[in-house]
Amino acid sequence: MVRWGHLFNSDGHDRRHQLQDEIRALLPTRRDHAPPPPYPAKEVTKVALRLKHQIEQVIPCELEEDKVTKPHSSILTPAVIETSKQAGGTEYKACVVYCLLVVKKWFKTQALRELWDAELHEVRAVAAEMLAKRIIEDEEDMDYLMEEVLLKRYSILVDGEPTVPANAIERAVDLHALTVIGSSGYQKCISYLWRGWLVQDDEDPNRFVNYDNKTNTDYWSHLDPDRMRVPRYQNTVQIAMSVIYLALYTGAINTINRTGDLDVVEALLYIFTVGFICDEVAKFWKVGRFYIGFWNVFNSTLYALLATSFILRIVAYSHGGDTDLRRHYNVLSYNFLAFTAPMFWMRLLLYLDTYRFFGAMLVVLKVMMRESLIFFALLIVVLIGFLQAFIGMDLTDNSISDSGFVIQAMLNAIMQSPEFDGFDQFAPPFGITLYYIFTFVVMVILLNILIALYNSAYEDITENAIDEYMALFSQKTMQFVRAPDENVFIAPFNLIEMFCLILPFEWWLSDDKYDRLNDYVMGVIYSPLLIITAFLETKQAHRVKFNRRRGEDDDDVQHEWEQVLHECDFEADGWDKKVQQTKPNVVVETAVLEIRKLQSEVTELKELLLEMKNGKGGGWGTDTLKESRLEAKGLGESSSSSEDGGNGDGDGGKSAADE
C-alpha cells in the first residue's frame, strides 16, 4: 500500500514531455494526486534561466575542466558564487541548488544535440554542478540546508506545464552528479535520511521534518512499527531475508526427495519465491518499463528458474506411484533448482552494496556490463555474417547437415578454444580459410576491444571510487525514501499484507482502523527487530543530547584527539601566531604573489617620486634619480655608497637623497 501515490504514473509510463534524466529516475512519478510545489514553477524556471545566462557569460569559450573544478578556481570566484546565490532573490533563494542541477541537465542536453560545441557545453555543465556544490558547502544553517534547499520539491515549466515535483537530492541522484553527491552537506542529509532522523511529513509529502523522538530517551517511545520505514532498518530486514532465503535453498538442494514429495524446507523456499515475485511485479506495475535494470533482470531470471522447478515438481507429483515419468520430472526439477545456485550467492551482492568494498565493486561490474554491450553488438553482426557464409557452404549439397558442428565451433572460438579439426573436409579450401578469418576477428580484434573497454571502465571507476560509492549509497537511500510504503511489508511478508489484510479488510474498514490493524500486524512481524532498534535508538538519543549539550552536531563523534583539545589554548601560548607566520599561501599561486609584491613596490616608488618632485618644485638632480633607481632595484645602502664613492661626491649624493 503506497501512501505517496503522486510518485507514480497511473499507466506506468512517464509523460511525453519528460526528458532523459526524468525517464531514468529511480521511481518515476505521477502528478494526478501530487500536492502543488511550494514555489510556482514559472518562477523556478526563471531562476534557472538566470543561472544559465550567468554560466554562459562566465564561460564564454572552451576551457579546461581543471580550471573550473580546482578548489580555488579563478573562474568560479567567490563573487561568481555570491551572484549565483542571488539568482533567486530573497524569496526563491532556496531553489538555487535545484535550479543549478536543472541547468546542468540543460547543458548536457545541448552537448548531445550541438556536437560542434559539445566540449563547451560539457564544461558549462561541470560549472553548474560545481556552483551547486560550493553553495551547499557554504551554507552554515544545516536545518535550512536539509529541509529547504535539498529536500523541498520544486517544479519547472516544460511545454507550458509544470514537471513532476522533485528535490535536489533526487535530481542529483538521477543525473549522477558525483560532485554534488560528494559534498559534505549532501552526505549529511543522506546520513540523516538513512538513520531516520529526517522523515517525510504525513500531511505534506513535499516536506521532510525532523524525527520527533530523536532526543527522547524513553525506550517505549521508540518501539513503533512506523520506524520500519527507516531505510537502515528496511535494508537490515532485506539482508536477513536474503540470508534466510539462501539457507532454505541450501537445505532444499542438499536434501533431495527422490519420491517427489515437498518437505517443509522446499515449501518455504517456494513461498519466499512467490513473495519476491509479487514484489517485483508490484514495483514494475507502479513504475513501468523504466524499472527494468540489470538486477531486476537478474532476479527475474532466478525467480523464473525457481518457478520452472516448482512447476516440474508439481507435474512429477501429479503422476502417482513410483513411475519412471515421475522420477524423470523430479530429476528435471532438481536440475533446474541446482542450476540456480550461483545466482543465489550472487544475489547477496545486491543487498551488501551498503558496505564500501561491495558497493565499489558493484559499480565496476555495472559499468563493465554496460560497456560490454558494444562488444556484443559487434559480435552479433560478425556472428551472423560468418554463420550465413558457413550455412551457405553447407547448402551446396541441398541439405544442412553440419550446422550443429559449425555453431559449436564458432562458440568455442568465442570462448578462446577454437577447433580447427573437421574444417579441412568442410567445403575445402573455403571452410578452413573462413574459420581462420573468423577466429582472428573474434579472438584478436573483438576480444581485445572488450578487454580495452573493461580496462577503461575499471580505471574510470577506481579513480572516483569514493564518489561512486557515495552515489550508489545515495541511490539506495532514495529508493527507500522516495516512495515509502505507508505499511512496510518486505517480501515475503508482502504475502501477509496481500492475503491477510488487503483482500479481507481494506475494502470495508475505515482508514483509521485499517492503519491500526496494519500497525498491530507489523508490530508482531517485526517485533524481534523492533526490540533491538528501540534499544539502539535509545542509546542514540543519549548521544544526541550529549552532543547538543556540548554545542556540537547531532551526529558528532568525539575522537581520541578531541578528548584533551579543550585544555589547549593555542592563542594564549603563542603557537597559533607562529603557525600563521609560517604557513604557506595555498589559495594564490606563488607567481601571482610575487607579481602582487612587485606591484606594491612599484606603487610605493611612484609615490616616492611624486613626493620628491613636489618637494623640489618640479625638478631633481641626477644623483637623486640614481639613488631612487638603486633603491627600487633593492641594491641596499652599501651599493649606494659604492656608487657615490665612484663619482667622487658620495657625501653630497647621500645628503641629497636624505633631503
CB 194 within 8 A of CB 482: no
Domain range list for the chain: 5-210, 255-351, 365-462, 590-658
Helix (H, G, I), strand (E, B) or coil at 230: coil
Question: pTM value?
Answer: 0.78
For 215-274, the pLDDT digits (tens) are: 889 888 888 888 888 999 999 999 999 999 999 999 988 887 777 677 889 889 999 999
Q: What is the DSSP track for 475-524? A: HHHHHHHSS-BSS---TTTHHHIIIIIIIIIITTS-HHHHHHHHHHHHHH
What proportion of the chain, given as a percentage, has pLDDT over 70? 85
In order of 428, 433, 563, the CA distances from 396 in angstroms are 12, 17, 87
The pLDDT of residue 455 is 86
The residues, ordered by sequence, that sit 6+ positions from 542 with a Cβ below 8 Å of its Cβ are 217
The residues, ordered by sequence, that sit 6+ positions from 191 with a Cβ below 8 Å of its Cβ are 555
Q: What is the DSSP track for 326-384? A: HHHHHHHHHHHHHHTHHHHHHHHHHH-TTSHHHHHHHHHHHHHHHHHHHHHHHHHHHHH
> Is residue 414 packed enough to be buried (19+ CB in 10 Å), middle (13-18) or exposed (0-12)?
middle
The pLDDT of residue 443 is 87
Give the C-alpha separation, 211 to 201, whole Å.
10
The pLDDT of residue 284 is 83
The residues, ordered by sequence, that sit 6+ positions from 341 with a Cβ below 8 Å of its Cβ are 249, 253
Give me the count of residues in the chain.
659
Cell numbers of 466, please? Answer: 569514493
Residue 483 confidence (pLDDT) above 70? no
For 352-390, the pLDDT digits (tens) are: 887 877 887 788 887 788 778 888 888 899 999 988 888
